[in-house]
Amino acid sequence: MLKDPFQRLGLDREVLTVSQLNQRARLLLEDVFPQVWVEGELSNIAKPTSGHVYFTLKDRNAQIRCAIFRQQASRVRELLRDGLLVRVRGRVSLYEGRGDYQMILDSVEAAGDGALRLAFEALKAALHAEGLFAQERKRALPKYPQRIGVITSPTGAVLHDIVSVFARRAPHVQLTLIPSAVQGREATAQVVRALAMADNAHYDAIILARGGGSLEDLWCFNEETVARAIAACQTPIVSAIGHETDVSISDFVADVRAPTPSAAAELLAPDHSALLQQLSNTERRLHGRINETLKRKGLQLLHLRQRLRHPRERLEQHAQRLDDLSLRMQRAMHATLQQGQQGLSHLQARVAVQHPAETLSTHQQQLHRLQQRLTRASQLSIQHAQQRLQTLLQTLQVVSPLATLERGYSILSTIDQPQIIRSVHAVQPAQTLQARVADGYITLQVQHTTPTA
């Protein structure tokens, strides 16, 4: 082994083997960098069965291979995840077999976003286990909101983007800004306070929004107090934190996550033109149904008019019925009298045939009783017929238009071709009409008409 890895090649142009070159390079690196701290992002992590861990540590412009052996790797295995920002300590070396430049590590710890990401994952797991991310607790967004609260910075471009979307799609929706810091020490408390204010104002929905930034910039939306404030709200909340690839704890707890603030506005802003088109279609269908209903009711009215009978027809029917009953009563009275006369004649014949003096008085008494019974029966029959006739006359009087005229009403009709007037639309100004009252007719002239409805 060379005692001095920095010894220059001889002037006689010494030629090295590949193994000698890699050995001298390794010794040189280990001598210059015996222990160094380096910060970068983990990627390409490999964990073979040997227990050793290999990965690439990189930043925006460069990368280096790293190896941490089993004993040290067992203490930091949970930290070794792709994308995590870490700070490592070790010596710079070279793997002679492949000529790979690498670091041999003895310590790994989270750094910057890496520490924040660990805290993010820990809180995410705890809140998920508690049920704050459960789908069944999430509320549906209103289909046609009227009032929306917007929690964001009053000076950022986010507010302008949201207002622009609503101005284009739903200018009728009322937007209210609840200003809050969205970055820095005061942001967490201000966001919690803004959420409580917006929820108490009973908006139809709340937009919680912020533009893009680093994990540290967005950290207030990963705080437990903000997550619990979102979960406590009764108003549906749309979370739009950062860019499309950014994910925060607030996104998981909110009812809906939008990839950008503009997308959040799109979710809550019904398309004004589409609503107008829908309203026009509904109006057209409504007019069609109304016209269809009017036609159907018109046919029903025509059918009912055809079935409607004039009171004169009913009066004629009752008069005919009265005449029939009167004739039947007369025939009944005539038949009763004939039967009585026949009985009397029969009895007189029997008296004439028998003519015994001792039974004459009895027969005369019997004849007298029969005559009395006949008289009573005839009178009773006549009374019943008269009562029935009187009842029919009273019924006829009730339904008779003449009775209506007695109460002060009149029947208005035309003169030339008598037709009953039922509507103000059936007459014209200056037209001559005839009114039938209880004791005669009155000739009238139309001055003007006034429909009641």
Look at residue 192 in the predicted model and tell me its pLDDT: 93
pLDDT average, residue stretch 427-439:
86
Q: Are 268 and 238 in contact (CB under 8 A)?
A: yes
pLDDT interval class at 294 (50, 70, 90):
confident
pLDDT tens digits for range 209-262: 888 777 777 888 888 889 999 999 999 999 988 877 778 888 898 999 888 888
Look at residue 307 in the predicted model and tell me its pLDDT: 73
Q: What is the average pLDDT score of the chain?
A: 83
pLDDT average, residue stretch 159-165:
90
Q: How far is CA 290 from CA 279, 285, 296, 299, in A?
A: 16, 9, 10, 14
pLDDT tens digits for range 78-116: 778 888 888 888 989 888 888 888 998 988 877 766 566
pLDDT average, residue stretch 423-433:
86
Q: Are 52 and 71 in contact (CB under 8 A)?
A: no
pLDDT tens digits for range 22-32: 888 888 888 88
pLDDT interval class at 198 (50, 70, 90):
very high
CB atoms within 10 A of CB 413: 15
**Between residues 403 and 436, which one has the greater pLDDT?**
436
Look at residue 1 in the predicted model and tell me its pLDDT: 47
Say which CATH superfamily domain 18-111 falls into: Nucleic acid-binding proteins (2.40.50.140)
Domains 18-111 and 143-270 share a fold: no
> How is the chain split into domains, by residue range?
18-111, 143-270, 311-399, 406-445
Q: Please tell us whether the domain made up of 143-270 is placed in CATH 3.30.70.2740.
A: no
Look at residue 353 in the predicted model and tell me its pLDDT: 64
Look at residue 352 in the predicted model and tell me its pLDDT: 67
Q: Are 179 and 210 in contact (CB under 8 A)?
A: no
Q: Are 43 and 56 in contact (CB under 8 A)?
A: yes
How many angstroms separate the CA atoms of 232 and 278, rounded? 36
